[in-house]
Amino acid sequence: MMIRGRKHIILSLSILCILNSISVSCRKNPQEKLLLVTIAKTGRPDPDFISGKSWRFVDGAQIATVNLNKPSRLRILTGDFHSACYPEVSYDGKRILFTARINENDPWQIWEMKLSTGKTRKIISLSENCVDPVYLPGDRIAFSRHIVNDTVGEGHSLFTCNMYGSNLKQITFYPGNYFAPAVLKDGRILALSRQLTPSVKDPVLTVMRPDGTKADMFFKADPEKVIVNRPRETDDGRILLVEKYKGSDSPDNLISINYNRPLHTKKILSSGAKGSFKAVLPLGSGKFMVSFREPESDKYSVREFNAETGTPDKVVFELKDHDVLDLAIAGEYQRPKKLPSEVDLQVKTGLLMCQDINFHGFISDAGSNVMPRASKIEILGIDSTYGIVPVEKDGSFYLKVLADKPFRIRSLDENNRVLSGECSWMWLRPNERRGCVGCHEDPETVPVNRIPLAVTKDPVIIPVHITEVREKSVELE
């Protein structure tokens, strides 16, 4: 078979077209069966998911299409690029966003291609690496950009811009990495985040609005496992993920979590599989394809997943000398909701309220489960403390925090002894209002129906050495 690109390369392509029986119900045009794949030379070492190093840059990769109605030829779309990967299809099915670089030593940048003509245009042209673009409603995109600054140190943050690369806005402010974003049907962004400072932690799924507000943990893998793929949302309200065991040769798990209860609905789908998963693609009607490698094989091929047996079953196609690393279908699909934004850049702060710092969930009042009561909190920045603040008698506090600055909170007793470890890093966007029930509580916990004492007073300005913030006055109606 002929792969067309900058050079003509002869590859052995074995294709078994089994998708004629699969109804792609999530697409508005079921006749369109153009599969988009990212391929790379077989024999490359698997990325190190455990160390925290970047794993979203695939040198020498290419984006190709397979017409599954006439699967006789694999067509390279990005032959003019040294490397290109991770295509994201537009809502009308006519265009793709992708990550690419023309020359080997160029920074990775964001491009768009019109599928009918193959014509490309560069959206992002920066000196830093930019990867993982996704379409947002309202003619904007989001992507991950490498940054180094005094606010978050070094890492990859999420940015948004319009379709021509202007009006660039940073939306995450976190000392770590954000990779592999996906846009949910409700309009929010779901991405893999990984803390790098002060220590490297395992990736967690974080959800947020497209303006960076209301960022919160969505799902966390078990301690012995790590999430290793872009999340995919199904028509029936599930999120599909791949978990890899750390430090063992155990097979990967293909799992699903429920959109409405992600922390309590984990289900292992691949109970009968032994091997490694690279990507998963929902097809509607409870069916999906996966990129999978058998334990005795050295390459990833595309397979139909058999939900009844929990195994990657029939081969869709495979390449003799290349792995298939990512999957997408070209065709129309449901446009996510466009969410309104509360961000006001004329406001320099955000507000954070906690109802009871001593609430850790519904635990017994007797025995070892009783936690010492906290009377203070300490707010920590990247390399310094922002101050210690007494909490009210009911355990509540109310803070006005400088916007777009990462911070963590830990609880103290009356003698300033630390009672709990720091919470995860958080930030507040300009004019954002946030609240929490307690400290390390189940995020699904509903707050008690009472007015916290802290909100009857003015909020404490953070950092505490600042006594006044001159900013636009915001009236709440």
DSSP per position, 82-107: SEEEEEEE-TTSSEEEEEEESSTTSP
Question: Same domain, yes or no, for 308 and 276?
Answer: yes
Instruction: Please tell me whether residue 367 adopts helix, strand or coil conformation.
Output: helix
What CATH code is carried by the domain that includes residue 318? 2.120.10.30
- pLDDT tens series, the chain, 477 aa: 334 344 333 333 333 333 333 333 333 344 447 899 999 999 777 666 655 566 789 999 999 998 877 655 789 999 999 999 999 999 999 999 999 999 999 999 999 999 999 999 999 999 999 999 999 999 999 999 999 887 777 899 999 999 999 999 999 998 999 999 999 999 999 999 999 888 888 899 999 999 999 999 999 999 999 998 899 999 999 999 999 998 778 899 999 999 999 989 999 999 889 999 999 999 888 889 999 999 988 899 999 999 889 999 888 888 889 999 999 999 898 899 999 999 999 999 999 999 998 876 544 344 445 567 889 999 999 889 999 999 999 999 999 999 999 999 999 999 989 987 778 899 999 999 999 887 655 566 666 778 999 999 999 999 999 888 888 776 655
Question: Same domain, yes or no, for 319 and 379?
Answer: no
Question: Same domain, yes or no, for 319 and 179?
Answer: yes
Question: Same domain, yes or no, for 300 and 355?
Answer: no
- Of 303, 330, 357, which residue is a domain's last? 330
Tokens standing for residue 36: 């988009």
- The answer to whether position 341 is within a domain reads no
Cα gap 280→51, rounded to integer Å: 23
Length of the chain: 477
Burial track 279-301 (b if 16+ CB lie within 10 A, e otherwise): bbbbbbeebbbbbbbeeeeebbb
Tokens standing for residue 169: 């806005």
- Name residues whose C-beta falls within 8 Å of residue 415's C-beta, 6 or more positions apart in sequence: none
DSSP letter for each residue of 275-303:
SEEEEEEEEETTEEEEEEE-TT-SS-EEE
What CATH code is carried by the domain that includes residue 392? 2.60.40.1120
Cα gap 288→290, rounded to integer Å: 7
User: Could you tell me the end-to-end alpha-carbon distance of the chain, in angstroms, rounded to an integer?
Assistant: 66
- The answer to whether position 315 is within a domain reads yes
Burial track 375-408 (b if 16+ CB lie within 10 A, e otherwise): bbbbbbbbeeebbebebbeebbbbbbbbbbbbbb
Q: Are 16 and 315 in contact (CB under 8 A)?
A: yes
**Domain boundaries, position 264:** 2-330
CA atoms within 13 A on the CB side of 157: 22
Cα gap 107→12, rounded to integer Å: 32
Instruction: Please tell me whether residue 456 adopts helix, strand or coil conformation.
Output: helix
Q: pLDDT value at position 244?
A: 92
Question: Same domain, yes or no, for 282 and 356?
Answer: no
- The answer to whether position 458 is within a domain reads yes
Query: What's the sign of the alpha-carbon dihedral 234, 238, 241, 243?
Result: negative
Question: Same domain, yes or no, for 322 and 357?
Answer: no
User: CA torsion angle for 464, 467, 473, 475 (degrees, to 10)?
Assistant: 60
- The answer to whether position 123 is within a domain reads yes
Question: Same domain, yes or no, for 49 and 80?
Answer: yes
- The answer to whether position 365 is within a domain reads yes
Q: How far is CA 203 from CA 206, 257, 366, 382, in A?
A: 9, 16, 35, 19
Question: Same domain, yes or no, for 175 and 114?
Answer: yes
Pairing mode, strands 83-89 and 189-195: unpaired
Question: Same domain, yes or no, for 315 and 395?
Answer: no
- The answer to whether position 137 is within a domain reads yes
Pairing mode, strands 153-162 and 169-170: antiparallel
Q: pLDDT value at position 380?
A: 94
Tokens 């984990």 belong to residue: 266
Query: What's the sign of the alpha-carbon dihedral 245, 246, 250, 251?
Result: positive
- The answer to whether position 474 is within a domain reads no
Q: pLDDT value at position 420?
A: 73
Residues paired with residue 160 on neighbouring β-strands, in sequence order: 142, 169
Instruction: Please tell me whether residue 162 adopts helix, strand or coil conformation.
Output: strand
- The answer to whether position 340 is within a domain reads no
Pairing mode, strands 397-402 and 460-462: parallel
- Of 302, 330, 358, which residue is a domain's last? 330
Q: pLDDT value at position 9?
A: 33
Q: Count the domains in the chain.
A: 2
Q: pLDDT value at position 469?
A: 86
Cα gap 20→24, rounded to integer Å: 10
Q: pLDDT value at position 74?
A: 86
Tokens standing for residue 470: 């001159």
Q: How far is CA 94 from CA 97, 99, 329, in A?
A: 11, 17, 11
- Name residues whose C-beta falls within 8 Å of residue 192's C-beta, 6 or more positions apart in sequence: 177, 178, 179, 180, 203, 204, 205, 206, 227, 230, 231
Question: Same domain, yes or no, for 298 and 368?
Answer: no
Cα gap 171→147, rounded to integer Å: 13
Nearest to 18 by CA among 326, 324, 320, 314: 314
CA atoms within 13 A on the CB side of 275: 23
- Of 330, 360, 378, which residue is a domain's last? 330
Q: pLDDT value at position 358?
A: 86
Tokens standing for residue 452: 């916290």
Tokens standing for residue 234: 């199904």
Question: Same domain, yes or no, for 303 and 365?
Answer: no
Peptide bond into 463 cis (omega under 30): yes
Q: pLDDT value at position 371?
A: 66
Cα gap 163→341, rounded to integer Å: 19
Question: Same domain, yes or no, for 414 and 306?
Answer: no
How does DSSP classify residue 453?
G
Peptide bond into 198 cis (omega under 30): yes
